[in-house]
Structure 1
Amino acid sequence: MVAAFDGWNDAGQSATNVVRHLVSRSPMLEVGHINRDGYYDYQTARPMQCVIQGTRRVLWPQTAFYDITIDDSLHILAQLGPEPNYHWMEYCKESLHFAQQYDVHSIVTLGSMFAECPHTRPLPMDVSIDGEQTDPDSEYNGPIGIPHLLDALALEDGYDTTAIWVSLPQYLGSDSCPQATLQLLDELSKVIGVKLDAKDLENKAAQWRSHCDIMVRSNADLAQYVDQLEHDTDMRQHAKDITTAGAPAVEQLVQEAEAYLSDQR
């Protein structure tokens, strides 16, 4: 099962757009909903009105489940909906009931968040498997969203779990970010062991990067800020690359850091 939720856990709609991409690109069947009252504050997650063939309909916040056929041997049960405002434990138990009905053996939760990172580098990814971070430097302490709780309860119930998060440049605002969705999809491909179709996303991600380049070039202050983010990102990556290379490499890093700080005086 792959789960993504609108709201706090979905910067730039990057996580939920993974599920929307899968739904639009693969044979699928909508197989269930969580839509009972009690989960949502309707002043926060408001009902929507739409007119279909002259008939007015009111659409209430709800979670949908899709049976997506990836190939003859693999189906994904995709969960998509707004993060509930209330009764998180009961909501997660209902979600896991669907997983049990469809003989799910592993659960993947997706999330995205804003961070100080440049668009000119691969966006930072955080992955945890069965509750353990794959990168010890990425240990998180702080507020959590519904994906964190679903991951924790699924693990308690004996499921294999993977949580995949991507960070987006906060200076770009809340517009959709195809690059982040693409990276989440690529990581999901690794988890399930099947290369998922990403052609449309690859084109959209390239257009997104071009748009970001133009925006940064037209703003001198923003360009300077992105230069600083690039340097900080490269230094962190450089440090990771040489931490296991022995004392001479560590000494080299110290010298480079001292030289950089001298240049800033």
Structure 2
Amino acid sequence: MYTPVAADVAKLRNTTGAGMMDCKKALVEAEGDFEKAIEILRKKGQKVAANRADRESSEGAVIAKVNGDNTHGVIIALNCETDFVAKNDDFVKLAHDLAETALGKSKEEFLAADFQGSTVAEKLIEQTGVIGEKIEIGSFEKIEGPFLGAYIHAGNKIAAITSLSANVSGAEEAAKAVSMQVAAMNPIALDETMVSQETIDRELEIERDILTKEGKPANIIDNILKGKMQKFYKDNTLVHQAFIKDGSVSVADYVKSVNADLKVMGFVRVSLT
């Protein structure tokens, strides 16, 4: 019977991330054929993935990446089953590497892209076998803009990317600061024009019901609602929110303080919490 040498086991482990004993067994089964051993481990991953298909993968790592010229960005959530795995250094590194691969691609293109000798989709199945938990891509958000900046909150549970209108002096710091705002305050839209009519109608209905129950006269409720909605936009839309680093100014005013012509163009946010 073929007996694998330590160097071959180590090489297979480095290539696949599988445990030492799994690598040794795969090499024995493959009679020393390295590529066949990789395939054996991948098939094992498929079996584990099938057995865990109904498991909930609500933990994981959320990673934001921006390309070299700060014009394309992506946030992915690499999901797993437990926080123990989510905090593992190798798992977090895998999430970072996958996010790099995702830059400039649609989710479909990303899953089909080459990643360490296999497709991303195949790698996820393989890692399910290696780790023993359901591993999958959850959220996938991409963004383009004149200048992007990213922020990943400590613990890799929330990430955000903000688009600014120009690459000017101070834009890098400003984009990161606004992305931190997005991560912390979770705005529902960029400004009032981007709030869905469904959200507006729901908010108006709630406030109208409250005012009616308070006995406010019908002829003044509409005027009161205008003020209520202004406060709603101030609290919930990014450019009107109070800036978390200086509550005396709005996010829009902070950005203008960096450069008078600078504006926030958009944002994306992903959270596991």
- Give TM-score scaled by structure 1 length: 0.26
- Give TM-score scaled by structure 2 length: 0.25
Name the one with the larger helix percent: 2
